Structures are given as structure tokens and as C-alpha cells.
């Protein structure tokens, strides 16, 4: 593929989808559509679109007895259903989209730690460990209270849930290394189908009595459509395509910029406040990520 098209179209579009995802979640009224049902809508329709895409391209899904369904279904649960729910919950607990994106940005640090434990070819080198420690200092700084006399920052519990979401993303990438080989688009379809099933079960358990029964306002409906077609469906396709074209290094670089896009998007569309604390924490985390990547085996 032409590099000009890659850097003028695919990369900016990926940045736009990933960077505005948190802003879109923040525009959805949880009184109309509870967090659990937001996840169901995203996952079910994205799974349908992805399955249609695979079949239209001539691909085939494996038979149900294939163990790929179990592996990729688990990845969909850990890497989509749970994180999507925690992110939506974070907004309901008054976290800013910028803060959420910064906390999600530590995913590569968790990946480095988990890879050391479960991937023999990716040991935790001293440089990687230094990067992890520095990056986590940035995370800890976000929990420092802004008002004297407080032990932790306000809404620290919601922040902790976002960190768990980041851990889920990291765990999914490790599971992906061990999962049965499948074409990228087929694997993504299995993940979305597995995530949709787990999201439906979770929604009935968590918010079964709050099933949406009326069509939401245009603003909320538009946000859900954009999340489903954009970040969940098209975002996954672009992610897989970028991995095929340039490998994980380019995706890692994109992840460095996503929190900045999210901060700007939250400021423009949600009128969120720019806080010095966010920029300081983001800078520390990015320094940790850069150092950790320096320690990776070429």
C-alpha cells in the first residue's frame, strides 16, 4: 500500500475514531440507555456488520465445535464487554473523557508485564521494568487528591475501574498470542460475537429491569450509531489492517496520540476542563512507554 495513503488517510482516520470514542460515550444519557445496554447495542450490531463483511469477502466462520470460538469469545468478553462497560460507568461517575483516555493509555505497560509472565520470548528487561515503573508513577499521580485532607482523589473508584479496563485490553493481546490461528477479520468477528453474547447476559443480570423501550433522542442515537459503526466496527478493521501493513510499532505510536485527541475532543464537544494534572500525568506515562519500548528486542 502507498505510504502516502497510509499516513494521510488510514492513520488520521484511526486517530479520529479512537480519540473521539470516549467523547461519544460521554454524550449518551444513561437514564435513557443504561451502561450495560449501551455495550449490548455496540457489540450486537458491530458483530452483525463484521460477520456480513467477512462473508461478503468470501470468508467463513469456523464450526461451533472449533475451539477458536472459546478463545476468541473469551477475548471478546475480557477485551470488549468488560472494558466498554467500565468506560461507560466511568462517565456516569463523572470522569472526563480525557482522564479516561489517559488511564486506558497505560494498556501497553500492562501488556509488557503480562508478556513477561506468559510469553517466553518477551522477558521483562531492566529497561522495560524502568519504563513500567515510571509510567505507573503517572497513574498514581492521577489518584493524588486535589483538595487537602483527602486520602485519594474524588471518584478514585471509577478511575480504578478504568485501570481494570486497560488491564483487560492488555490481557486480550496476550490471549491473542495463544489463540488458534484465524484470519484477522474472522478472529475479530468471533471476538465481537462472543462479546455480544456476554454483553447480553451481563445486561440482563445487571440492568434487566431497565431495558430501553423507547427510541432515544437523536443525539444519543447518533452517538450509538457512530460508536457501533466507527470505533467498534470500522475501528477494529483499521486496527487489523494497520497491523498487517506496518506491524505493532505503528499502532503503538498511534496510541501515544489518542489521549491528546481525546482531551481536545472532550474540550470541544463536552466542554471539559483542561487540567494541568492530566497533562503532567500523561507526560509521565508517555515517558514510561517510550522507555519501555526502548527495552524491547528488535
So what's the pLDDT on residue 178?
A: 86
pLDDT at 201 over 70: yes
Confidence of residue 68 (pLDDT cuts 50, 70, 90): very high
Is-contact 20 202, C-beta < 8 A? no
Give mean pLDDT, residues 98-114.
91
Burial 206-229 (b: 16+ CB within 10 A, else e): ebeebeeeeebeeebeebbebbbb
So what's the pLDDT on residue 212?
A: 85
So what's the pLDDT on residue 148?
A: 72
Around 167, how many Cα atoms within 13 Å sit in the side-chain half-sphere? Answer: 9
CB count in 10 Å sphere of residue 261: 22
Closest CA to 105 of 133, 136, 74: 136
So what's the pLDDT on residue 198?
A: 97
Residues in the chain, overall count:
298
Give the C-alpha separation, 202 to 187, whole Å: 22
If 0-12 CB within 10 Å is exposed, 13-18 middle and 19+ buried, where does residue 269 land?
A: middle
The pLDDT mean for the chain works out to 89
pLDDT at 297 over 60: no
So what's the pLDDT on residue 249?
A: 64
So what's the pLDDT on residue 161?
A: 95
Retrieve residue 94's grid coordinates: 463523572
Most confident of 73-82, 181-190, 287-296: 73-82
Confidence of residue 247 (pLDDT cuts 50, 70, 90): low
Burial 8-44 (b: 16+ CB within 10 A, else e): eebbeebbbbbbbbbbbbbbbebebbbbbbbbbbbbb
pLDDT at 141 over 90: yes
Burial 83-112 (b: 16+ CB within 10 A, else e): bbbbbbbbbeeebbbbbbbbbbbbbbbbbb
Least confident of 38-47, 81-90, 157-166, 181-190: 181-190
pLDDT at 54 over 80: yes
pLDDT at 146 over 90: no
Give the C-alpha separation, 89 to 161, whole Å: 8
Closest CA to 106 of 66, 140, 150, 61: 140
pLDDT at 194 over 90: yes
Cα-based distances in Å from 101 to 34, 196, 287 = 21, 23, 16
Give mean pLDDT, residues 57-82.
94
Amino acid at each position: 500500500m502507498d505510504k502516502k495513503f497510509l499516513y494521510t488517510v488510514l492513520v488520521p482516520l484511526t486517530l479520529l475514531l479512537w480519540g473521539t470514542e470516549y467523547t461519544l460515550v460521554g454524550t449518551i444519557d444513561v437514564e435513557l440507555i443504561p451502561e450495560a445496554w449501551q455495550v449490548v447495542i455496540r457489540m450486537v450490531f458491530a458483530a452483525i456488520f463484521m460477520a456480513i463483511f467477512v462473508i461478503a469477502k468470501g470468508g467463513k466462520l469456523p464450526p461451533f465445535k472449533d475451539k477458536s470460538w472459546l478463545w476468541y469469545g473469551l477475548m471478546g468478553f475480557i477485551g470488549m464487554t468488560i472494558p466498554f462497560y467500565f468506560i461507560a460507568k466511568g462517565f456516569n461517575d463523572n470522569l472526563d473523557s480525557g482522564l479516561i483516555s489517559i488511564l486506558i493509555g497505560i494498556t501497553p505497560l500492562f501488556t509488557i508485564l503480562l508478556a513477561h509472565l506468559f510469553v517466553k520470548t518477551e522477558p521483562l528487561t531492566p529497561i522495560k521494568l524502568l519504563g513500567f515503573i515510571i509510567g505507573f508513577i503517572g497513574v498514581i499521580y492521577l489518584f493524588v487528591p486535589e483538595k487537602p485532607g483527602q486520602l485519594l482523589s474524588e471518584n478514585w473508584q471509577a478511575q480504578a475501574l478504568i485501570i481494570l479496563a486497560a488491564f483487560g485490553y492488555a490481557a486480550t493481546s496476550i490471549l491473542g498470542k495463544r489463540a488458534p490461528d484465524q484470519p484477522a477479520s474472522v478472529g475479530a468477528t468471533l471476538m465481537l460475537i462472543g462479546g455480544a453474547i456476554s454483553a447480553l447476559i451481563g445486561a440482563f443480570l445487571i440492568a434487566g429491569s431497565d431495558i430501553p423501550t423507547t427510541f432515544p433522542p437523536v443525539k444519543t442515537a447518533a452517538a450509538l450509531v457512530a460508536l457501533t459503526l466507527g470505533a467498534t466496527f470500522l475501528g477494529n478493521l483499521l486496527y487489523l489492517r494497520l497491523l498487517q501493513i506496518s506491524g505493532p510499532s505503528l499502532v503503538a505510536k498511534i496510541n501515544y496520540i489518542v489521549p491528546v485527541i481525546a482531551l481536545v475532543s472532550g474540550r470541544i464537544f463536552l466542554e471539559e476542563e483542561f487540567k494541568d494534572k492530566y497533562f503532567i500525568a500523561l507526560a509521565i506515562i508517555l515517558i514510561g512507554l517510550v522507555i519501555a519500548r526502548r527495552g524491547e528486542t528488535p
